[in-house]
Chain A
Amino acid sequence: MGMILISALSMGAIGAVLAGFLAFADKKMKVEEDPMVEALTGALPGSNCGGCGFAGCRVFAEALMKGNALPNACVAGGSETSKAVAEIMGVDAGSMKRNIAVVLCKGGNNEAERRATYRGEMTCTAETLTGADKSCSYGCLGLGECVDACKFDAMAMNENGLPVVFYDKCVGCGACARACPRNIIEMHPEDHKLFVYCRSRDKGAYAKKVCKVACIACGLCVKDCSAPGGIALKDNLAVINHDVAPQNDESIKRCPTKCILYGIEESVTRSNYFASIRK
């Protein structure tokens, strides 16, 4: 009986002393954490994509609190997230434009020539280091590093060896554009519809020899463009000035290689892409 009593008392005493010590430490070491930061972090998607320009969702939330970021800067979450964030912050969400990734190369396995067979590490970055197997030194290598970089299931490699962006899934974080060693992917606001799907700066004759859909810098689109200065030739490549160029398909009609196209990005959604390959 005595032993049980002693056991209970000694354990109780040890427990009480420790509890007191912890309670004291808790008071002393209280961390002043802003509950707003917690709430904001909770409202963000949490994918840490870096699309807002900050290192992660939490860092973005802290920047929001300090006033260094705009509530609608989160591209991954879209308008719903910016609405939620603005509600927590107590400000007006404002309108925001979504960016989407555009793959500026149409020279897949069927169109572009390969001068060798690459058998190394199957990533585009590694292949770039070897000089790559494509004759065109500006075209897509087709190993899908951009698809691996996408965290939103918004990209896939098609059977022609080119990446496709799903218009409905892309949040405009730009991870694919950063992953591409040849800088083929550009980020554009979704109201841009006219693109030259080629990055080749080779002379027209060579560009056409190695790829059926290369821009050969013939200048027909420049002549046909209804807005002056909308399309210009630079380094053997037609370059579109999106601020000036008309948003219509007038200028693309005479393109001999059909590398300038209008409004095709928005036609590809995830569901209709997979429906089309199942057929």
Chain B
Amino acid sequence: MELILIFISASLINNFVLTYFLGICPFVGVSNKTENALNMGFATTFVMTLTAAATWPIYNYVLVKFNVPFLQYVAFIIIIAALVQFVEMYIRKASPSLYRALGIFLPLITTNCAVLGLALFMVMREYSFLESIVFGFATGVGFTLAIVMMSGIREELEFADIPKHFQGISITLIIAGMMALAFMGFAGLIRG
């Protein structure tokens, strides 16, 4: 029950992109085509789940044990960087076309603040190992949901008659704001 609650909370109610405004760079950068957005979402979900699984034991068994929890920022950043490197190698091996489609955005997952945010929230909320993995996966699902929805809207926008000064990134940010407003509606799902 607790796990389902964490899943719904992280993917919908406290969606990283639309309520915490984390990970806006890929959210705006890779959301022009649904196919690419979906692939980016999958890659990020994969990295996030692995991050949760890798940072939890290191935080609890290394940093806490040696009484140096303030090192969490540095430690998490290098773990995330290493994981992204690993994912890049894996995708390059498994699917060269996906590797080319993601291009520069794949290494940029390293600097996606949503991934670091996930690790920090996980520690702050004192989740157990299983809860952390569910939290990481749910955050990735939430990110995928947001970026795919955004890309769907942006594909339709291609044909819209947008005033000159709103074209491009401005209309994208306005839409992101509207989507965030809409996602606030999910806050009513859980009381208290």
Contacts and interface: CB of A to CB of B under 8 A. Distances in A.
Q: Do A and B bind each other?
A: yes
B79 interface: yes
A33 B25 CA distance: 31
A48 to B, nearest CB: 12
A22 B93 contact: no
Given A11-B74, A31-B92, A31-B93, A6 B68 contact: yes
A29 B66 contact: no
A275 interface: no
Contacts, number: 44
Given A14-B58, A14-B62, A6 B92 contact: no
Q: What is the size category of the interface that chain B forms with chain A? A: 10 to 19
Given A10-B62, A10-B71, A29-B90, 19 more contacts: A3-B68, A6-B67, A6-B68, A7-B68, A7-B71, A10-B66, A10-B68, A11-B71, A11-B78, A13-B62, A14-B62, A14-B78, A15-B78, A18-B78, A21-B82, A21-B86, A25-B90, A29-B93, A31-B96
B66 A22 contact: no
A6 B66 CA distance: 7
B62 to A, nearest CB: 6
Interface residues of A, number: 16
Interface in B107-121: none
Interface string B50-68: 0000000010001100111
Nearest to A26: B89
Nearest to A7: B68
A28 B75 CA distance: 25
